[in-house]
């Protein structure tokens, strides 16, 4: 019943697995469903198939308690749940712009066909606005009207590396609903989050709205974050020609609470499975709806972001005293250590990672590139088999003519510049995340170059 609805999460990728595990932890009975047999076997054994701090322990505890199980059976899933969350991927279409909804379509259709009792289907995947209405029509097509199955939308905002916190202690919950029944059931499905907040003397704000707004909230939030990062990276470009220091500029504007200091870190730009893909899909959808002009600036946001990668290449050529040909710099014979492969620290995710993209560009330019990353090597090797990967920071840096720090892992921030100076070929460092102590590196004899700094 609605007091403690039983929950299912369809799609046990990053989003679905994290939610399934965390909601079991909140006390719900949960099923995680996926078509991928290996993924389901791993999760059932208590193994999280990706790197996320704190999640392994929660998985084991909740599988052991019996509150959480994983299955590839859609019949079992359909039979079990009062509320079904759709958490499947919405990758970038092969045309490079819009979102591919085939997994949403497949999971909703399979689920709907197998439902034999009333249930609520809640979309969580990031989708183009209008998808919820389309899902509702899909459900109507595949279920009988007497069953009374309904659809709602509830976007998520979790950040990799903080996913457990973000799910258990979200800074808001947004629901797009059409009826009191679905609103009440979705409230019950979120009640564990509200209860946890009240024991900690917090409140989780809830925005109850229509489908379109709920869908837009997610892409608007990501567009804003991407814009904020590209804004400061645009200021970095100006600083580079004007002789300013973007890190001080960011600090100074960030003291204004209307601006705020978060997401103002200038560097090699944003990557990952969300921001780059979401801003492109958002533009494509706005275009389809006839509001393309409104989001034209997101194209600039994207271009600024990509220009930062090229900037690292040019800095490398400058430091190594190489010629800039028409096709870019020639780095033949230069040995370059690339520190970082993931799109951000505390993650093993290399999707659209600026670090790995730059490593690829350095390789293209002829450099002998040695990549090291504390967590991302396995994934990076699959994406860029042409690169050389090293097992340690020291091995990557040994004999290097240039060191590029492109993901701000603590291991790199805390590295001793004097010790590294002793093993490199040339003491040249590009700090692509402005995360190193510039004066300490300079004092150890390094020529230090940050992005957007003199």
Binding segment (CB under 6 A) for ligand UDX, from list 62-70, 221-229, 287-295, 327-335: 221-229
Q: Does 431 bind ligand UDX (CB under 6 A)?
A: no
In whole angstroms, give the CA distance from residue 126 to residue 11. 13
In whole angstroms, give the CA distance from residue 47 to residue 60. 8
Question: Dihedrals φ, ψ of 28, to 5°?
Answer: -80, 155
Q: Which residue, 286 or 406, is less far from ligand UDX as judged by CB? A: 406
Q: Which of residues 160-179 bind ligand UDX (CB under 6 A)?
A: 160
Return the residue matching tokens 């004066």.
439
191 annotated as ligand-binding: no
Question: Of 42, 72, 159, 287, which lies in the binding site for ligand UDX, with binding defined by CB under 6 A?
Answer: 159
Q: Which residue, 31 or 216, is less far from ligand UDX as judged by CB? A: 216
Contacts of 274 (CB under 8 A, 6+ apart): 126, 222
267 annotated as ligand-binding: yes
Residues in the chain: 454
Q: Which residue, 63 or 158, is less far from ligand UDX as judged by CB? A: 158
Shortest gap between Cβ of 171 and ligand UDX (angstroms)? Answer: 10
Shortest gap between Cβ of 106 and ligand UDX (angstroms)? Answer: 23
**Over the Cα atoms of the chain, what is R_g?**
24
Q: Side-chain half-sphere of 424: how many Cα atoms within 13 Å?
A: 27
Shortest gap between Cβ of 344 and ligand UDX (angstroms)? Answer: 4
271 annotated as ligand-binding: yes
Q: Side-chain half-sphere of 44: how many Cα atoms within 13 Å?
A: 13
Question: Of 322, 344, 363, 453, which lies in the binding site for ligand UDX, with binding defined by CB under 6 A?
Answer: 344
Is residue 231 within 8 Å of residue 305, measured between CB atoms?
Answer: no
391 annotated as ligand-binding: no
Q: Please report, for residues 108, 139, 289, 308, 393, the alpha-carbon distance to residue 134 in angstroms, rounded to integers and kept in the order given.
A: 11, 9, 15, 38, 50
CA-based nearest residue to 127, from 147, 112, 110, 107 = 107
274 is catalytic: yes
Return the residue matching tokens 């917090």.
202
Q: Does 374 bind ligand UDX (CB under 6 A)?
A: no
Q: Which residue, 143 or 283, is less far from ligand UDX as judged by CB? A: 283
Q: Which of residues 252-271 bind ligand UDX (CB under 6 A)?
A: 263-265, 267, 269-271
Shortest gap between Cβ of 355 and ligand UDX (angstroms)? Answer: 9
18 annotated as ligand-binding: no
Question: Dihedrals φ, ψ of 450, to 5°?
Answer: -100, 170
Q: Which residue, 76 or 165, is less far from ligand UDX as judged by CB? A: 165
Q: Which residue, 58 or 158, is less far from ligand UDX as judged by CB? A: 158
Shortest gap between Cβ of 101 and ligand UDX (angstroms)? Answer: 18
Q: Does 114 bind ligand UDX (CB under 6 A)?
A: no
Q: Does 229 bind ligand UDX (CB under 6 A)?
A: yes
Question: Dihedrals φ, ψ of 6, to 5°?
Answer: -85, 135
Binding segment (CB under 6 A) for ligand UDX, from list 29-37, 152-160, 174-182, 386-394: 152-160
Q: Side-chain half-sphere of 297: how many Cα atoms within 13 Å?
A: 9
Sheet containing 368-372: which strands, arranged edge to edge? 388-389, 368-372, 335-339, 402-405, 428-431, 447-450
Evaluated on CA atoms 69, 71, 73, 77, the torsion sign reads positive
Q: Which helix (H) or strand (E) segment is 151 a member of?
A: strand 150-153
Is residue 349 within 8 Å of residue 273, measured between CB atoms?
Answer: yes
Q: Does 272 bind ligand UDX (CB under 6 A)?
A: yes
71 annotated as ligand-binding: no
Q: Side-chain half-sphere of 201: how many Cα atoms within 13 Å?
A: 0
Number of residues that bind ligand UDX (CB under 6 A): 19
Q: Which residue, 11 or 329, is less far from ligand UDX as judged by CB? A: 11
Catalytic residue among 12, 87, 239, 274: 274
Q: Does 343 bind ligand UDX (CB under 6 A)?
A: yes
Q: How far is CA 279 from the centre of its chain?
A: 13
Q: Which of residues 21-50 bind ligand UDX (CB under 6 A)?
A: none
Shortest gap between Cβ of 219 and ligand UDX (angstroms)? Answer: 10
Q: Which residues define the annotated binding site for substrate?
A: 157-160, 218, 263-267, 271, 344
Q: Which residues define the annotated binding site?
A: 34, 39, 90, 126, 157-160, 218, 263-267, 271, 277, 344, 351
**Binding site residues, ligand UDX, CB under 6 A:** 157-160, 222, 225, 229, 263-265, 267, 269-272, 274-275, 343-344
Q: Which residues define the annotated binding site for NAD(+)?
A: 34, 39, 90, 126, 160, 277, 351
Q: Annotated active-site positions, please?
A: 274
């Amino acid at each position: 019943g609605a007091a403690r609805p039983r929950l299912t999460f369809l799609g046990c990728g990053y989003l679905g697995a994290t939610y399934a595990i965390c909601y079991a932890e909140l006390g719900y009975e949960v099923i995680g469903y996926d078509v991928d047999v290996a993924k389901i076997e791993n999760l059932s054994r208590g193994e999280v198939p990706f790197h996320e701090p704190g999640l392994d322990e929660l998985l084991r505890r909740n599988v052991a308690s019996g509150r959480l199980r994983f299955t590839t059976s859609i019949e079992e899933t359909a039979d079990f749940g009062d509320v079904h969350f759709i958490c499947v991927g919405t990758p970038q279409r092969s045309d490079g712009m819009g979102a591919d909804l085939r997994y949403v379509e497949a999971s909703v259709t399979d689920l709907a066909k197998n439902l034999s009792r009333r249930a609520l289907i809640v979309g969580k995947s990031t989708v183009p606005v209008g998808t919820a209405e389309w899902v509702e029509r899909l459900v109507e097509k595949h279920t009988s009207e007497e069953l009374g199955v309904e659809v709602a939308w509830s976007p998520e905002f979790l950040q990799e590396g903080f996913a457990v916190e973000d799910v258990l202690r979200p800074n808001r919950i947004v629901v797009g609903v059409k009826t009191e029944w679905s609103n009440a059931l979705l409230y019950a499905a979120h009640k564990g989050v509200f209860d946890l907040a009240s024991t900690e003397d917090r409140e989780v704000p809830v925005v109850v709205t229509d489908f379109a707004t709920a869908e837009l909230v997610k892409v608007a939030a990501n567009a804003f974050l991407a814009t904020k990062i590209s804004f400061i990276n645009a200021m970095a470009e100006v600083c580079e020609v004007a002789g300013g220091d973007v890190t001080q500029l960011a600090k100074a504007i960030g003291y204004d609470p209307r601006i705020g200091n978060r997401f103002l870190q200038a560097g090699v730009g944003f990557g990952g499975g969300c921001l780059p893909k979401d801003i492109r899909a958002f533009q494509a959808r706005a275009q389809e709806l006839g509001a393309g002009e409104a989001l034209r600036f997101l194209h600039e946001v994207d271009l600024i972001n990509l220009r930062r990668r090229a900037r690292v290449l040019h800095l490398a050529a400058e430091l190594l005293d190489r010629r800039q040909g028409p096709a870019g710099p020639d780095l033949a014979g230069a040995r370059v250590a690339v520190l970082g492969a993931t799109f951000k620290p505390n993650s093993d995710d290399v999707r659209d990672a600026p670090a790995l993209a730059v490593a690829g560009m350095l390789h293209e330019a002829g450099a002998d590139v040695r990549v090291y990353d504390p967590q991302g090597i396995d994934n990076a090797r699959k994406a860029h088999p042409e690169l050389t990967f090293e097992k340690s920071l020291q091995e990557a840096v040994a004999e290097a003519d240039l060191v590029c720090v492109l993901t701000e892992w603590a291991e790199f921030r805390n590295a001793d510049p004097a010790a590294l100076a002793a093993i490199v070929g040339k003491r040249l460092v590009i700090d692509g995340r402005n995360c190193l102590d510039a004066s300490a590196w300079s004092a150890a004899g390094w020529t230090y170059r940050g992005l957007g700094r003199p």
